[in-house]
Amino acid sequence: MNWKKLLFVGLLGASLSLFNSCSTHYSSGASAPNSAESSDAARLRSEATLRSGLGTGFGEEVESSISYTKFTRNGSKPSSVNVIYYNDKLGVDAMTHGSKVIGGAMQKSSDGLVEWGVKSQWSYAKNIHSEGKRFVIGKAGSKYSLVVKNIFHSRVEVVLSVDGIDVMDGKSASVKKRGYIINPGQTLEVKGFRTSEQAVASFEYSSVAESYSHLRHGDTRNVGVIGMAVYPEKIKLSWLMRNAETQRREQASAFAEAP
């Protein structure tokens, strides 16, 4: 895979590979399943229907254009992998076991390169922390988006997933896939699963049975989790030296005590 090419969304970016439209999950062109497959599908549908709490559905299409740029990752592994769990209020209460701390809407990734959070239609979702995990509360039928701000001194790439599905191609998520690029100091808002170079299908809280992961993949194992892998850009040593010098000068004191 060529790691130097990446799609670009305005001043921000997206995935290299052009993929089949996510809307194809409604296609009826596949061959008829055998009886064993039908039995498995029926069992999965039944399990999904019985599950309580929220999943993420495939909402209405909204405009979100992309184009190309170049980006080389600093390494083959992400500098951090971060997770936010979501559910309705009853579900979050059950998952936090009554022991929780309320935090701000935007939180730093574990590597400190970006801040990220979940935004509803009207405001940011507050974070609930419990036993080392981060939760947000959603409401069935409401749309939401993922917001990521680059607080690093160079560009970063973020690979995002919802319910174990890559937001770029609608298939199983992997940190090895390509993602969005964010310039220093800029903020990216991802509103849905990409359906084309011009649009995405909105993230919308739904029942587990109506979730995109269930309707397209027949799989609800990873419903309720949002993931983000972060990759800093590989930059020249001269830039790193200049940045280190800049940081030293910014920390200089005009009235420092004698050592």
Q: How does pLDDT run across 110-145, given as a tens digit for each residue? A: 999 999 999 997 889 989 999 899 999 999 999 999
Q: What is the pLDDT of residues 34-51, one digit of tens each?
A: 445 456 555 555 566 667
Q: Residue 237: its pLDDT value, please?
A: 62
Q: Residue 17: its pLDDT value, please?
A: 33
Tell me the backbone φ, ψ of residue 195, rounded to 5 degrees.
Answer: -110, -20
> Cα 43 to chain center, whole Å?
29
Q: Residue 240: its pLDDT value, please?
A: 58
Q: Residue 162: its pLDDT value, please?
A: 98
The stretches in the chain having pLDDT less than 70 are 1-50, 52, 98, 237-243, 258-259
Task: Give the DSSP per-residue string, 4-42.
Answer: TEEEEETTEEE-SS----GGGGG---SPPP-HHHHHHHH
154 to each of 195, 246, 249, how far by Cα in Å?
A: 29, 14, 19
Q: Residue 31: its pLDDT value, please?
A: 35
Q: Residue 30: its pLDDT value, please?
A: 30
How far apart (Å, rounded) are the C-alpha atoms in residues 73 and 46? 43
Token output for 101: 């701390």
Q: Residue 238: its pLDDT value, please?
A: 62
Q: Residue 51: its pLDDT value, please?
A: 77
How far apart (Å, rounded) are the C-alpha atoms in residues 207 and 213? 11
